[in-house]
Structure 1
């Protein structure tokens, strides 16, 4: 909605709201994943769940996620409109999207088996092929069990397709109306339902929950509780929309409204663009299904991915959510000088928070995984597998978020086609890199392939944005980012050396010892980075230091 129709909030104020809400949601998400790891380790229940969740989760992230295409398109259009214009537009978009996604949901349920074959063909290997490739009878039976569980889970979670669109529209509507708390915290409800489901299952089975014979039951509980979480995530935002008069459940078929056409014009290419990135996730799992212990490989990808996405989600929402409406309001050519300053701000903030975090993820991967996950069914061997994947994820955190900043600039300029074209090329690039790296490096190789794709996207988007905006001071921007990268290298080395010294002094066993070592080694590394960053005299760093000082002084 326009500035005149809503209260003014500073970028830092919005970022604070989003950070707190997202932090709470991410903490619960991490606890949920810890509970799953403790109950099932890297066994068939969670391995099947990672395969079964590919398409429903792809749609939930793609359509229903904050900063997703539905959210971005709605904010980009409604942020420029008066409040009284919003309800008819939102109801029309909901009618259109809901009808289409209802058909998609029915299709997913009916064609679950062939779709699962498409997602994970390695699970459908024949006995003769298994023998030819040296797969043992025990491993082959594990593949069959994983496939059966995955198909059942997929059918249960199919309605997430419909819920995803409704959630994404609601998120965008509330953000455009300057409401950030509920959209940022609502993923909490999905984690809560999974924790409740696992809690009930644990009370019923006790220690038997970790045994292989209950893998099917555990897998079904995971699927049903995930669906319940998606439903609750949609329901909780409806009262806020109704109270703010931002549209309800009324069916509207006014598809010719200019605002609706504008939303669709951004939403369709943005959906395909973001969808291309999610197809890369499917491509990774496609190749992962051929790794001999596929369940362990995809489980490690999921566990390590969450450890990265927890801080990444918090920090990305802090940066992207408040910047997107600002980008949209600066889309007029006369405002491009200020827009360029905001783009620089987004990239510098990304470098300040992501580069040192990447260094810590790489240097401290093993103790991070052990502290977070290693208990009950998740043993030391699972920790080693997951830590290797986490290190690979850590390499690409800056390029992942930096690319997202630039994509949002294109959306704000009404150009969803350019990111789409790049993402389309990335499908082939990702498949090629997966093919080249999976045999040599296994699951970590799949992650490194994704890092390569994101790096290419970042460079291509920067070059194209420079052409679009009549020039960007790329050399001027790159020097401080390079300086921050060098400082992050010292951060990683300091943390790694500190960890080695502490392990020689205290050993490596015991949760509290591991946690203390992790905290001290991380603090040493961050201390070095802070001293280094202060010497660079970057406005974003100085502003961040002043703000922290103000908070501590209260």
Structure 2
């Protein structure tokens, strides 16, 4: 909406709303995966669901996710328009996108076997893999309509954020988690311990897939209700596709869609290689368990950083504002470093007790899955900074109206990811596939900085690099201290849940304090600002 027609919120206010809502959503998402782990562990029901959900999840993350291309394109366009101009524009875009993804849904239902075979061809080589394949085909057919709902969710997400409405879009993804938790709980009550037996694998896969679909439908309904109440469009067909405003949205949406899609293709590439591993079923299931432990804090912190900054980037695109834009880019990168680097160090040092505390119960414990999940978690943690740093830089290009450069880099990344997967899978196994993605994201950050340096007539890259290197060193020190503390404490404790929780709290707390002390010595404005805000909240509470 236009600046005069919507209420003003500070970056801190927006970040607070998004942080709380996203925290709730992510915590419920973590509980969902804990419930799935306790019920199914790394059995065929879980691995087949992970494979079947790749394509629907691809659409939901790519199209319906916060900071996704639909969200970015809608915010970029609607933030400059009045509510009266926005409603018909939202309806026109929804009509076009809805038609395209209705056809995509029909295709997925018909071609489900072909899709699964393309995603994980190695499954056909073993009897266990063939069972996973059959359940995955059924699950994909159930979840196929998520493609249509994902498009509608992404459009509504952007429209609500452009109207300065952040709470419901950020919290609504928890509905999918709740429906899956309820479904798994009801199945467990019905069949008891037999839930992990082979004869219930198909039922388990159906329950997981149906829960994901139902939750997506509920998410769209809740968001559409808020969208309609805000006067941002109804469920109405409009065919004014030649409107210049519609074209401006697709000018950003098209390249952004392909650019973000390239990253998801890297996930599919990893799955392709993982299907040929000797332990392909448990490995595929383990990726999801480890990834969620990374995505929970990463999702919260990325929304806190990216959601408030993207509109700011968009308002500073004129050359006369480039000095301030550069300052905001530096702020985004340093906030990313402050948030991500110490988390990486602590997760690397404490991966095993983290996995044990979060997941090790029920079927997960019976499968002895902790060691494999912990090794994959370490690989994910190594790349946390470059993952989020890449997203910060991509948003700058989108704000500048340049979706082509990130897209070209992403195309190169597909090739690089395949090469690194091929090189690293043999010596490192499943963690090697994750490290391949880390290498690709590192290349992306360097390439984006190089192009942005040219586009903005120079960036103070050397000046920015010193504090980032300092924070990296501090994170290594923090992780080392946490690891040493863990080894000392575990001499006096066992391997039970309470024992592992005590180890985690003590070692993590000592490591975090070490990083805070170190970071404060760097005298960075971003560190001081963050610390002041935290301290200011204690007296009020």
Matched, 1:30 2:30: yes
Matched, 1:545 2:531: yes
* 1:402 aligns with one of 366, 384, 389: 389
Partner of residue 535, structure 1: 521
Partner of residue 278, structure 2: 292
User: How many angstroms apart in 2 are the aligned matches of 1:323 and 1:90?
Assistant: 23
Secondary structure of the equivalent of 1:77? Answer: helix
Partner of residue 327, structure 2: 341
Partner of residue 443, structure 1: 430
Secondary structure of the equivalent of 1:67? Answer: coil
Measured after TM superposition, the shift of residue 44 of structure 1 is: 0.5
Gaps of 5+ in 2: none
Secondary structure of the equivalent of 2:364? Answer: coil
Partner of residue 84, structure 1: 84
User: How many angstroms apart in 2 are the aligned matches of 1:378 and 1:419?
Assistant: 39
Partner of residue 196, structure 1: 182
Measured after TM superposition, the shift of residue 448 of structure 1 is: 0.1
* 1:417 aligns with one of 380, 386, 404: 404
Measured after TM superposition, the shift of residue 423 of structure 1 is: 0.3
Cα contact 2:43–2:196 (8 A) shared by 1: no
User: How many angstroms apart in 1 are the aligned matches of 2:356 and 2:295?
Assistant: 17
Cα contact 2:64–2:152 (8 A) shared by 1: yes
Measured after TM superposition, the shift of residue 257 of structure 1 is: 1.1
User: How many angstroms apart in 2 are the aligned matches of 1:206 and 1:231?
Assistant: 29
Matched, 1:486 2:482: no
Partner of residue 210, structure 2: 224
User: How many angstroms apart in 2 are the aligned matches of 1:212 and 1:319?
Assistant: 44
Measured after TM superposition, the shift of residue 202 of structure 1 is: 1.2
Matched, 1:171 2:160: no
Measured after TM superposition, the shift of residue 124 of structure 1 is: 2.0
Cα contact 1:80–1:329 (8 A) shared by 2: no
Secondary structure of the equivalent of 1:506? Answer: coil
* More displaced stretch, 142-151 vs 389-398: 142-151
User: How many angstroms apart in 2 are the aligned matches of 1:243 and 1:336?
Assistant: 37
User: How many angstroms apart in 1 are the aligned matches of 2:229 and 2:212?
Assistant: 28
Measured after TM superposition, the shift of residue 211 of structure 1 is: 2.1
User: How many angstroms apart in 1 are the aligned matches of 2:5 and 2:396?
Assistant: 24
Cα contact 2:69–2:253 (8 A) shared by 1: yes
Partner of residue 250, structure 2: 264
- 1:364-418, Cα deviation, whole Å (9 max, x unpaired): 0000000000001112720001000000000000000000000001111111111
Secondary structure of the equivalent of 2:362? Answer: coil
Secondary structure of the equivalent of 1:207? Answer: helix
- 1:24-71, Cα deviation, whole Å (9 max, x unpaired): 000000000000000111011111111111111111100010000000
User: How many angstroms apart in 2 are the aligned matches of 1:240 and 1:112?
Assistant: 34
Partner of residue 443, structure 2: 456
- 1:252-310, Cα deviation, whole Å (9 max, x unpaired): 00111111100001101100000000000000000000001111001111100000000
Measured after TM superposition, the shift of residue 3 of structure 1 is: 1.7
- Taking the TM superposition and a 5 Å limit, the aligned residue runs for 1:240-255 are 240-255=226-241
Measured after TM superposition, the shift of residue 151 of structure 1 is: 0.5
- 1:302-354, Cα deviation, whole Å (9 max, x unpaired): 10000000000000000001111111111122211111111111001000000
Cα contact 1:122–1:289 (8 A) shared by 2: yes
Matched, 1:377 2:346: no
User: How many angstroms apart in 1 are the aligned matches of 2:2 and 2:443?
Assistant: 36
User: How many angstroms apart in 1 are the aligned matches of 2:416 and 2:202?
Assistant: 36
* 1:468 aligns with one of 437, 451, 455: 455
Partner of residue 133, structure 1: none
Measured after TM superposition, the shift of residue 2 of structure 1 is: 2.2
Matched, 1:521 2:507: yes
Measured after TM superposition, the shift of residue 142 of structure 1 is: 1.1
Secondary structure of the equivalent of 2:66? Answer: coil
Task: Using structure 2 for the length normalisation, give the TM-score.
Answer: 0.99
User: How many angstroms apart in 2 are the aligned matches of 1:144 and 1:111?
Assistant: 17
Partner of residue 138, structure 2: 152
Secondary structure of the equivalent of 1:48? Answer: helix
Matched, 1:498 2:496: no
Measured after TM superposition, the shift of residue 503 of structure 1 is: 0.2
Matched, 1:426 2:413: yes
Cα contact 1:276–1:424 (8 A) shared by 2: yes
- 1:99-152, Cα deviation, whole Å (9 max, x unpaired): 000001101111011111100000123xxxxxxxxxxxxxx3211110110110
Partner of residue 73, structure 2: 73
User: How many angstroms apart in 2 are the aligned matches of 1:121 and 1:340?
Assistant: 46
User: How many angstroms apart in 2 are the aligned matches of 1:229 and 1:91?
Assistant: 23
Secondary structure of the equivalent of 2:132? Answer: helix
* 1:388 aligns with one of 368, 372, 375: 375
Cα contact 2:74–2:162 (8 A) shared by 1: yes
* 1:324 aligns with one of 287, 304, 310: 310
User: How many angstroms apart in 2 are the aligned matches of 1:4 and 1:335?
Assistant: 21
Cα contact 1:35–1:195 (8 A) shared by 2: yes
Cα contact 1:91–1:247 (8 A) shared by 2: yes
Please report the RMSD computed on the Cα atoms of aligned residues, expressed in angstroms. 0.8
